[in-house]
Amino acid sequence: MISIEPGELWSDLETIRKKSPLVHNITNYVVMNSTANALLALGASPVMAHAAEEIEDMVGLASALVVNIGTLSPAWVFSMRKAMSEAGKKGIPVVLDPVGAGATRFRSETALTLLSEGKPAIVRGNASEILALGAQDAKTKGVDSLHRSDEAVEAARILSEKFGVTVSISGPSDMVVNGKKLAVVSNGHPMMPRVTGMGCTASALTGAFAAVNPSAFKAAAHAMAVMGIAGELAAGKAAGPGTFQACFIDALYSLGLKDISEKIRVETRES
Amino acid sequence: MISIEPGELWSDLETIRKKSPLVHNITNYVVMNSTANALLALGASPVMAHAAEEIEDMVGLASALVVNIGTLSPAWVFSMRKAMSEAGKKGIPVVLDPVGAGATRFRSETALTLLSEGKPAIVRGNASEILALGAQDAKTKGVDSLHRSDEAVEAARILSEKFGVTVSISGPSDMVVNGKKLAVVSNGHPMMPRVTGMGCTASALTGAFAAVNPSAFKAAAHAMAVMGIAGELAAGKAAGPGTFQACFIDALYSLGLKDISEKIRVETRES
Amino acid sequence: MISIEPGELWSDLETIRKKSPLVHNITNYVVMNSTANALLALGASPVMAHAAEEIEDMVGLASALVVNIGTLSPAWVFSMRKAMSEAGKKGIPVVLDPVGAGATRFRSETALTLLSEGKPAIVRGNASEILALGAQDAKTKGVDSLHRSDEAVEAARILSEKFGVTVSISGPSDMVVNGKKLAVVSNGHPMMPRVTGMGCTASALTGAFAAVNPSAFKAAAHAMAVMGIAGELAAGKAAGPGTFQACFIDALYSLGLKDISEKIRVETRES
């Protein structure tokens, strides 16, 4: 069974810092700045590019692709499909963030199209989004979850088996699901959902880890652990969600092996 | 006559924090992140969505709609009109922010179309923007005001009576106008106009208050008082406009009844 | 020979703070917020506007135009061309930031079209971008440079002579080139490339300086020196790239003559 080890997480982080893999993001307007900064703080090299005219060239340079439908429109969806197709041809990992799936039919349908056609390695969403993709009756409130992550594990398992994908569910405890394998990441802080785009940041960092670790399951769990640990470190310095954002980026930047070893709380199970 | 009471403002804020109303924003690229964070810090749940394909579904979930023309283009204006029409059918309050009205004909004409056709409950702008909508000869310098808020009260009154709308004019003193009623909010700090999008943030928070208070006049005045008080608190901790932004979000998050009661400076008049 | 003097830089900064020139930006989604805040902190008045419908009116109000292709698409390129044409008719300075030139053919070709057709006063890019425009064989990694700024001086000279433009190359040392003239700005801090959009911010501030100083060479050098000095001041207060961003904006806001005189490190040469 796969287990998540602080030493391997640290090794991935060192590789990201040393090689600075290019992570190509087609993401929403709200988080372009904050996710680019999170990727830079982690050690990766972010690029945001959405024009169909340059998708092929840009995917050609990238080590991972992150597709996020947070502020989607038909022209952007066209580019997302093209980018995922190019990533598939090139063999680089794709992370899909189905922001707001379950809130509108356009988002649910787009997310399912990208999932079935684009063959992402990892889907990273909140519980309501994963439920909306894996079950029929789930509802999402705008882009915020109405469900706990453990409620979505069964839906994640269905998605994982149907589409051959690793599913990463963020929440007070994060759940990473691949077939029968489950990793539960208990790091994090209640301030995190009070900052916009922390889920999108998790998806972006998942892309960076997927660029350096061939196991999608491990890459997803490593990213969620790093998110949670950085969140705990930031919360110790912040006076509210405004200062938290800056402290979170600082924590990503200076995260050391000692922080990871002392704070990591990940359990793996196989059912 | 309507008066603005700290107790009712506090009650609105508690309701926002408890119910976390979904505020649907069709807003400009510059402020999507900062206004989402301000809404989250206040206690509301923000969503940004602009595709015509999902407007009906998203408005259907929302408790208020905020339309902001800060970086407009024809496709976005189409979605704004559709969203305002849907909001009208559903009966949720709409806040219109006519960013840069008076600077270009495209902005002035779009703002007037949205105002006359879309029937917002509240228009929130700076003095130059309100003058540009309510009078013929006013000019706006890009998106910054060339006028004091009191110079725009007469134009606001004309707009209020013509379109049945509450007009909220931001400035060193904020003026909220509904027909013959006027509230003057004297809270705030000179650092605020040195941060981009503080007016847009005021509009977003006005949407959150309108989601919980059926009086557009009170909702607008409550939002401006909260903006101003949070600005004063932030200025006490910040070393410049960069740290001010983070401290402002922190202040919105931790704003207590004592802060409000001690600092609020609102006068109401009826002419 | 032109030399860069702290006194003239300070005089430009005072003029910006006093007159608050309107800088019209057609820029990328990632940096709209951060560059608007940097311009406001410096003392200028930023506006972001991209719709072809309002380009003529907005350029008509502006004192400088900044065109940045960081997240380009054909509709935006159309507006950029129109804006540069209007700026040329009106005689206001244009700064072009060819973000990611060399990474994709779309970016390289767009940058060359805007450069040859739009007659910018200043091109501000990193070394890889300048090499991609001035030489055939250079590659860019996404939007990050693979080259040192001194490697691009020869390419900058070629561009400068061919297009009559001042070229400003950012890097650990910034190089400003106009024909045979060269200014080397040695201010700055290694934290700066760890924050997204610092190059874009340099371009925006270059626009503000170009609005008040008729010498493109001096305007470019003044902007790079201010960037670098503010970066050094911010690094003295920040714990990482997150807090750095806020401290950088604070430093721009409070930058004094003493800071400039004590810290400026600019050398000029003529070959």
Q: pLDDT digit string (tens) for A145-189?
A: 888 888 999 999 999 999 999 999 999 999 999 999 999 999 999
Residue A245 sits at the chain B interface (C-beta within 8 Å) = yes
- pLDDT at residue B2 tops 80: no
The 10 Å Cβ neighbour count of residue A236 is: 10
Give the Cα-Cα-Cα angle C9, C12, C13 (nearest 5 degrees): 90
Give me the residue from A46, A246, A251 closest to C246, CB to CB: A246
CA distance C141 to chain A (A): 7
Residue B78 sits at the chain C interface (C-beta within 8 Å) = no
The predicted pLDDT at position A3 comes to: 87
The predicted pLDDT at position A136 comes to: 60
Q: pLDDT digit string (tens) for C43-87?
A: 999 999 999 999 999 999 999 999 999 999 999 999 999 999 999
The predicted pLDDT at position A137 comes to: 59
pLDDT band with cut points at 50, 70 and 90 for residue B146: confident
Closest CA to B121 of B15, B47, B213, B224: B213
Residues of B in contact with A196 (CB under 8 A): 33, 36-37, 40, 46
Q: pLDDT digit string (tens) for C196-237?
A: 999 999 999 999 999 999 999 999 999 999 999 999 999 999
Q: Identify the helix (H) or strand (E) that includes residue B157.
A: helix B153-163
Residue B250 sits at the chain C interface (C-beta within 8 Å) = no
The predicted pLDDT at position C108 comes to: 96
- pLDDT at residue A246 tops 80: yes
Query: pTM surpassing 0.90?
Result: yes
Tell me what percent of the residues of chain C surpass a pLDDT of 90: 92
- pLDDT at residue A241 tops 80: yes
Residue A48 sits at the chain C interface (C-beta within 8 Å) = yes
Which chains have at least 3 CB atom pairs separated by less than 8 Å from chain A?
A: B, C
The predicted pLDDT at position C3 comes to: 87
Span C2-11, average pLDDT: 93
CA distances from B70 to A196, B198, C49, C171 (A): 20, 12, 8, 33
Give me the residue from C41, C58, C75 closest to B103, CB to CB: C58
How many contacts, defined by CB atoms under 8 Å, are there between A and B? 103
Q: Where are the domains of chain C?
A: 6-270
pLDDT band with cut points at 50, 70 and 90 for residue B135: confident
The predicted pLDDT at position A146 comes to: 82
Q: Which of A30, A47, A72 to mutate to test the interface with C (most CBs of C within 10 A)?
A: A47
- Give me the residues of A, 146-185, that contact B with CB < 8 A: none
Span B215-236, average pLDDT: 98
Give me the residue from A29, A61, A253 closest to C29, CB to CB: A29
pLDDT band with cut points at 50, 70 and 90 for residue C141: confident
C214: CB partners within 8 A, 6+ apart: none
The C-alpha atoms of residue C139 and residue B201 are separated, in whole angstroms, by 41
Would you call A40 and C142 a contact, using CB atoms and an 8 Å cutoff? no
The predicted pLDDT at position B137 comes to: 59
Residue A113 sits at the chain B interface (C-beta within 8 Å) = no
Span B232-259, average pLDDT: 98
- Tell me if A46 sits within 8 A of C196, measured CB to CB: yes
DSSP string across C77-134: HHHHHHHHHHHHHHT--EEEE-TTBTTBHHHHHHHHHHHHHH--SEEEEEHHHHHHHH
A14: CB partners within 8 A, 6+ apart: none
Tell me what percent of the residues of chain A surpass a pLDDT of 90: 92
Coil, strand or helix: which one is B59? helix
Determine whether domain A6-187+195-228+266-270 maps to CATH 3.30.2130.10: no
Would you call C32 and B29 a contact, using CB atoms and an 8 Å cutoff? yes
Residue with the bigger pLDDT between C112 and B1: it is C112
The predicted pLDDT at position A135 comes to: 78
Residue B245 sits at the chain A interface (C-beta within 8 Å) = yes
CA distances from C192 to B34, B107, C70 (A): 22, 36, 18
A242: CB partners within 8 A, 6+ apart: B37, B41, B245, B246, B247, B248, B249, B250, B253
- pLDDT at residue C139 tops 80: no
Continuous H helices in A62-104: 74-90
Residue A250 sits at the chain C interface (C-beta within 8 Å) = yes
pLDDT band with cut points at 50, 70 and 90 for residue B145: confident
The predicted pLDDT at position A164 comes to: 97
Would you call B142 and C45 a contact, using CB atoms and an 8 Å cutoff? yes
Which chains have at least 3 CB atom pairs separated by less than 8 Å from chain B?
A: A, C
The predicted pLDDT at position B3 comes to: 87
- Tell me if B232 sits within 8 A of B187, measured CB to CB: yes
Q: pLDDT digit string (tens) for B96-119?
A: 999 999 999 999 999 999 999 999
How many contacts, defined by CB atoms under 8 Å, are there between B and C? 105
Q: pLDDT digit string (tens) for C15-31?
A: 999 999 999 999 999 99
Would you call A71 and B48 a contact, using CB atoms and an 8 Å cutoff? yes
The C-alpha atoms of residue B160 and residue C153 are separated, in whole angstroms, by 60
Would you call A73 and B51 a contact, using CB atoms and an 8 Å cutoff? yes
Would you call B37 and A243 a contact, using CB atoms and an 8 Å cutoff? no
pLDDT band with cut points at 50, 70 and 90 for residue B271: confident
Closest CA to A129 of A169, A93, A158: A169
β strands within B118-216, DSSP E: 122-126, 166-170, 174-178, 181-185
Would you call B100 and C22 a contact, using CB atoms and an 8 Å cutoff? no
Residue C212 sits at the chain B interface (C-beta within 8 Å) = no
- Tell me if C139 sits within 8 A of C101, measured CB to CB: no
The predicted pLDDT at position B144 comes to: 82
B243 to chain C: nearest residue by CA? C246
Maximum distance among all Cα pairs of chain A, rounded to whole angstroms: 47
What's the token pair of residue A4? 């998540």
Would you call C240 and A253 a contact, using CB atoms and an 8 Å cutoff? yes
pLDDT band with cut points at 50, 70 and 90 for residue C1: low
Average pLDDT, chain A: 96
Half-sphere exposure of C131 (CA within 13 A, CB side): 20
The predicted pLDDT at position B149 comes to: 87
Residues of B in contact with A197 (CB under 8 A): 33, 36
- pLDDT at residue C148 tops 90: no
CA distance B240 to chain C (A): 4
Q: CATH code for B6-270?
A: 3.40.1190.20
The C-alpha atoms of residue C248 and residue C252 are separated, in whole angstroms, by 6
How many contacts, defined by CB atoms under 8 Å, are there between A and C? 104
Q: pLDDT digit string (tens) for B24-78?
A: 999 999 999 999 999 999 999 999 999 999 999 999 999 999 999 999 999 999 9
Would you call B31 and C29 a contact, using CB atoms and an 8 Å cutoff? no
The C-alpha atoms of residue A113 and residue A93 are separated, in whole angstroms, by 17
Average pLDDT, chain C: 96
Q: Which of A106, A145, A146, A248 to mutate to test the interface with B (most CBs of B within 10 A)?
A: A106
Burial B136-154 (b: 16+ CB within 10 A, else e): eebebbbbbbebbbebbbe
Residues of A in contact with B37 (CB under 8 A): 195-196, 241-242, 245
* Inter-axis angle of helices B127-134 and B153-163, nearest 10: 50
- pLDDT at residue A98 tops 80: yes
Span A104-122, average pLDDT: 97
